[in-house]
Amino acid sequence: MHRLTALLLMLFLQSVQAAKAQDPRLAGRLDSVTRAQVEEVLATAAGRGLPAEPLVQKALEGASKGAPGPRIVAAVEALQVDLSRAQQGLGPKASADELVAGAAAIRAGATLQMVDRIRRTRGDGGVAVPLAVFADLVAGGMTVDAAWHSVSELAQKGGDEEQFLDLRERLRPGGASP
Amino acid sequence: MKNCGVSWKSWDRAGRALVLALVLPLSAAAQFRGTADFGTGPATWDQAEGRDQLLNGAFGASYRLSPLLGLEPELLGNFGLSTRPTEQAAMGWDVGARFNTRGADAGIWLGAAIGAAGSGGRQSALTTLEAGVRRALGRARVDLWVSRTGFGSRNGPTGGLAGDTAQPDTLVRRGGVTDYVELGSRAALRVSRYEVGLSLTQRMGSAPIRRTGWELSGTWWLAPNFGIVGSTGHSLPQFGFTVPGARYGTVGLRFAIGGRSPIQRARGTDAEAKSSNRPMLLVAGRKLTIGWAPARTAEVMGDFTDWKSQPLVPMNGGRWTLPAALSPGVHYVNVRFDGGAWLVPSGAFKVDDGFGGVAGMIVVR
């Protein structure tokens, strides 16, 4: 009897997770194969306590940009890995926005130690903007070490969001980029 | 007042130097910064009776190259001109390079430059080596440096120090080249559209050339690339010593070229968007606006539109806006104009989109 109850509970939880992994927005935008693969990634992410919305958005972004199905799946998987690593660095209490910024920083080359150090240094100051500035500086051509040095230096001084934006202004020329 | 000058015969060389300083920036204006100053005012000479009315012009430009070995190389060029009623114009130019360390708030630099300075038939070749430290303290910035300037009569038989007015024979001579060392400092404070700066320069050496110069200056940026500048101080002998030191006061105009004046650094303003002459994303009150994008149509897509293209609504002055407010948080966005390529407007953080392109990241509070 206990075994039957446990089996039913497991089936119920799996069905709930599978339902969570299905997003109606994907239906009209991805072919069935790509959608199924993306939903597998979403189910994995849900099991790890990661937010699904950034992953859904990555798939929609790929569809709108005309990326082929395998590339969309690869991008969603890569984001799931980056979000998972960001969660390791930022801790279980990190918000979805912080995880997204952390994933962008990791994608740009930040290590878990760097992300963790920013979190510890910033305390309640929020990590989204510093991590976003880091990713932006690397995307603009700075080396990971140089960008990290600049961002961590300001974080240690207790710089606020405005000062991080100023840092970005100083170190990276603006401009529309294709 | 700038400490540089050159003879009329060196116009061609100065022109080539300026071309060198300007050609590269034309291909990548974002890396280029420059200022042009024009001013006039009275000067009371250290070694002569009476006062003269000076007319000064100066142009300085820099171009940042790609990072190299963790350093930021920078090409520099300067040109200066000073006239007074009874003397020939004194002019000078130099071109050089500087390597900056990449600290956000502090760093050091090493640099070298060559050039020429003088007036009329007197001219001197110049070489300068310098090293300095910089430090940002909130809105203030402090620079300290030491430089060694060598100059001599290599440019012509009538050049050099023969006609100089600062007892140049007392200068240190090595192989026909005379040199002196200067210790310099400058502190600048920027608040809104105002800048105040104080410079102190100590020229080292024997008693006749050992001088202290200073300048207090203020700039009021009336527009992103245009301001009024006033300065007063005591200058050191300039333009290869063809212009003696003087107490002076000048008022003039300053033009910022390529780089950003303080008024432009105030992000989120229409002035910045317009002055940047590039599509710029602004988020104010959770409303997304694209500034300075002269196009027939503009579209945006991002996570807030489920990555579906959505037309932006035109406003006056080449601005476009998204009618719906954004929710607080981190968002990704791309924009395009007239059906062109999707791009990241300046003002958004540029990140790899995973599809071989880039997306803009914005943080909405």
Judging contacts by C-beta atoms under 8 Å, the chain B residues touching residue A139 are 349-352, 358
Partners of B306 on chain A (C-beta within 8 Å) are: 25, 57, 60
Task: Give the C-alpha separation, A101 to A103, whole Å.
Answer: 5
Q: What DSSP state is assigned to residue B5? A: -
pLDDT over 70 at B270, yes or no:
no
- Can you read off the two tokens belonging to residue B205? 């050496």
| Nearest beta carbon to residue B330 from set A78, A100, A168 | A100
Return the ∠ at Cα B150 (arms to B93 and B63), rounded to 5°: 40
A89-108 residues touching B, CB cutoff 8 A: 96-97, 100-101, 104, 107-108
Tell me if A78 sits within 8 A of A71, measured CB to CB: no
Tens digits of per-residue pLDDT, B120-135?
A: 666 778 899 999 998 8
As a whole number of angstroms, the distance between CA B292 and CA B276 comes to: 8
Does A64 contact B350 at a Cβ distance shorter than 8 Å?
no
The nearest alpha carbon in chain A to B64 belongs to: A173
* CATH architecture type of domain B267-364: Sandwich (2.60)
Could you tell me which residues come within 8 angstroms of residue B208 by beta carbon, excluding any fewer than 6 positions away?
B166, B167, B170
User: Using the beta-carbon criterion (under 8 Å), do A60 and B306 form an inter-chain contact?
Assistant: yes
pLDDT digits over A137-149, tens only?
A: 887 778 888 889 8
What are φ and ψ of residue A12, in 5° steps?
-65, -45
Q: B205: Cβ–Cβ under 8 A, 6 or more apart, which residues?
A: B170, B171, B172, B180, B181
Interchain pair B307, A150: CB under 8 A: no
Contacts 24+ apart (CB under 8 A), B243-246: B243/B5, B243/B82, B243/B87, B243/B90, B243/B119, B243/B165, B244/B45, B244/B46, B244/B47, B244/B48, B244/B165, B244/B166, B245/B45, B245/B46, B245/B47, B245/B166, B245/B211, B245/B213, B246/B43, B246/B44, B246/B45, B246/B46
- B260 Cβ under 8 Å from any chain A Cβ: yes
- Domain extents in chain B: 8-264, 267-364
SS3 state of residue A167: helix
- Please tell me the predicted confidence (pLDDT) of residue B133: 92
Subunit contact A135:B349, Cβ cutoff 8 A: yes
Per the CB < 8 A criterion, the answer to whether B291 and B279 are in contact is: yes
Say what the pLDDT of residue B263 is. 38
Closest chain B residue to A140, measured at CA: B350
User: pLDDT tens, B119-177?
Assistant: 766 677 889 999 999 886 766 788 999 999 887 654 443 333 333 444 444 444 544 55
CA-nearest of B113, B118, B84, B114 to B8 is B118
* Chain position carrying tokens 């799996």: A14
Joined together, the tokens standing for residue B263 give 């008024």
Q: Which of A12-16, A40-44, B82-86, B352-356 has the lowest mean pLDDT?
A: A12-16
Task: Verify whether the Cβ–Cβ distance A150 to B359 is below 8 Å.
Answer: no
List CB contacts (< 8 A) between B354 and chain A. Answer: 58, 62, 74-75, 78-79, 107
Which residues sit opposite B152 in a β-bridge? Answer: B125, B177
CA separation, residue B185 to residues B134, B205, B212 (Å): 10, 18, 12
User: How far does the CA of residue B347 sit from the closest CA of chain A (Å)?
Assistant: 7
DSSP string, B285-325: TTEEEEES---S-EEEEEGGGTT--EEPEE-GGG-EE-SSP
Terminal C-alpha separation, chain B: 46
* Cβ(A36)–Cβ(A72) below 8 Å: no
Of residues B267, B329, B330, nearest to A165 (C-beta): B267
Q: Does A165 touch chain B (CB under 8 A)?
A: yes
Kindly report, residue by residue over B197-239, the tens digit of the pLDDT: 999 999 987 776 788 999 999 998 776 678 899 999 998 887 6
A166: nearest CA in chain B?
Answer: B265
132-161 of A, contacting B, C-beta below 8 A: 132-133, 135-136, 139-143, 145-146, 149-150, 153-154, 157, 161
% of chain B beyond a pLDDT of 90: 19
**A34 at the B interface (CB within 8 A)?**
no
Fold equal for B8-264 and B267-364: no
Q: In B, which residues are within 8 Å of A145 by CB distance?
A: 70
CATH H-level superfamily of B8-264 = monomeric porin ompg (2.40.160.40)
Q: B279 to chain A: nearest residue by CA?
A: A176
Q: In whole angstroms, what separates CA B110 from the centre of its chain?
A: 17
Q: A125: which residues sit within 8 A by CB, 6+ positions away?
A: A158, A160
DSSP string, B92-142: EEEEEEEEEE--SSEEEEEEEEEEEEEETTEEEEEEEEEEEEEEEETTEEE
Chain A residues with CB under 8 Å of B343 CB are 176-178
Chain A's closest residue to B72, CA to CA, is: A142
Q: Where are the alpha helices (DSSP H) in chain B?
A: 11-27, 262-265, 270-276
Q: In what helix (H) or strand (E) does residue B147 lie, and over which residues does it extend?
A: strand B140-152
Q: Which residues of A touch B31 (CB under 8 A)?
A: 173
Radius of gyration over every alpha carbon of chain A, rounded to an integer in angstroms: 19
Please write the tens of the pLDDT for every residue from B288-340.
Answer: 888 766 678 889 999 999 999 999 988 877 788 888 888 888 899 999 888 88
Q: What is the mean predicted confidence (pLDDT) over B238-262?
A: 73
